[in-house]
Amino acid sequence: MKPWVPTLLLSAMAATSHAQPGRKFSSVDAAVHQVMEDTGARGIALAIIRGGRVRYVQAYGVRSAANDPLRTDTVMYGASLTKVVFAYSVLQLVDQGKLALDVPLAAYLDKPLPDYDTEAIYRDKYGPYRDLADDPRWKRITARMVLTHSTGFANFWWDEPDQKLRIHFDPGSRYSYSGEGMILLQFVIENGRKAQGLGLDLGALTQATFDSLGMTRTSLQWHADFRPNLADGFNDRGEAVPHDERSKVRVAGSMDTTIADLSKFVAAFTRHKGLSGASYAEMLKPQLRIGTAHQFPNFAPEFPQNERRNLFAGLGLILFTGPQGRGFFKGGHDEQTANTMVCVEKTKDCVLILSNDVRAEAGFAHLVTFILGNTGVPFDWEYGDRAGKS
């Protein structure tokens, strides 16, 4: 990839606030096109948020093998950016007094977790909690542990060699990325005691947020009317992969969205719209030190304390400290999807990128630096040597 000199574009934006959008952001367009040329990525959608407000939204390239254009209202796969929406929804329940971050999830259930027949409740949606019958540590897991990826679960139960759910370390003791933990908290919210305000539908809960923000083409569950303007994906061999029509709400990663829609959510989040100040601060509070060289593989050895001093788990987010102060970010990835959100906390300046081509990931560090300047976002930890690979 060709090296670029980092440009503090947002300062220029402030100085030219009355310029025409095409002139003001032409350098961003050129930078995106260069990334697409260098990586081979077929489609990228990008949004810039400044001071907590959406300032620029654009889409580039194509959404399908038929070369249909990618547009700002094209439905794309949100992947693990879904987890940020879920964390926001959980903190709303905390604000409403329906959930507490440090109360064991067991306290919200009518019977022990391993006694639930999850397949009878909803097929292929929740984990096989019966596998935890001989490990009482499940009783200690809290919402905070789920949102800081410290439950002790693998990313998903089917990643285990024998496909049995297990706890690998004492809950709360260290970071190890787990969508499985998110699904456990979803199970408790959807099947917990109604007398305590639970037994809620996460699809409806998140949809209320989307509706309030005018996100008309976003859902955690597939909608047939997405199909006419839908992004397929491209893997690292450039092969087209059809969009997965996810029929179940799964908070670890079932969201479909558009760059226009999701930029509204990110901007609203930076202004803690819909959350109390206390809950917003809790999400951005350093909760748990992260000491691994990379996010994956799970359960990798941790460095000594002084090796990674500025990388922490927040609630549903990863927190870092760099030249511009504190920031937060979250990525999303599968074999044909590459997404990232990076924000500087103090200024509420963010870059949001959705790509329907995993190869675009290899250019994310350049684009974020080009737009925001040097933030110190730890893409090396996020991707290791796997950026842009299926």
The predicted structure's pLDDT at residue 6: 36
Q: Can you tell me the distance from the alpha carbon of 173 to that of 291, in angstroms, rounded to the nearest whole number?
A: 12
At 49, the amino acid letter reads I
Q: The tokens 């930078």 sit on which residue?
A: 31
Q: 215-246: per-residue pLDDT in tens?
A: 999 999 999 999 999 999 999 999 999 999 99
> What is the average pLDDT value for the chain, to the nearest integer?
93
d(CA 86, CA 186): 9
Q: What is the pLDDT of residue 11?
A: 42
Query: Is residue 9 pLDDT above 50, yes or no?
Result: no
Looking at residues 357-372, what average pLDDT do you find? 97
**Banded pLDDT at 10 (limits 50, 70, 90):** very low
How large is the greatest C-alpha to C-alpha distance in the chain, in angstroms? 65
Decide if pLDDT at 354 tops 50: yes
- pLDDT tier at 25 (50, 70, 90 boundaries)? confident
Give the residue from 141, 313, 103 showing the smallest Cα distance to 153. 141
Check: CATH 3.40.710.10 for 9-80+216-383? yes
pLDDT at 337: 98
Helices (H) and strands (E) in the chain, counts: 12, 12
Are 143 and 179 spatial neighbours (Cβ–Cβ below 8 Å)?
A: no
Locate the DSSP E strands across the chain.
43-50, 53-61, 76-77, 233-234, 240-241, 256-257, 288-289, 311-313, 318-322, 325-334, 337-344, 349-355
**How far apart are the C-alpha atoms of 343 and 289, rounded to whole Å?**
19
Give domain limits for the chain.
9-80+216-383, 99-196
Mean pLDDT of 38-47: 98
Q: What confidence tier does 24 reach under pLDDT thresholds 50, 70, 90?
A: low
| Amino acid in position 296 | F
Instruction: Report the share of the chain in percent with pLDDT over 70.
Output: 93
Residue-wise pLDDT for 253-275, tens only, equals: 999 999 999 999 999 999 999 99
HSE of 36 in the Cβ direction (CA atoms, 13 Å)? 21
**Distance from C-alpha of 253 to C-alpha of 232, rounded to nearest angstrom:** 16
Write down the pTM of the prediction.
0.93
Dump pLDDT digits (tens) for 115-124.
999 999 999 9
pLDDT one-digit tens code per residue, 298-344 = 999 998 765 678 999 999 999 999 999 999 999 999 999 999 999 99
148 is written with which tokens?
A: 């800081």
pLDDT of residue 309: 80
The reported pLDDT for the residue numbered 306 is 56
Q: List the Cα angle 318/323/326 in 5-degree steps.
A: 35
DSSP conformational letter for 343: E
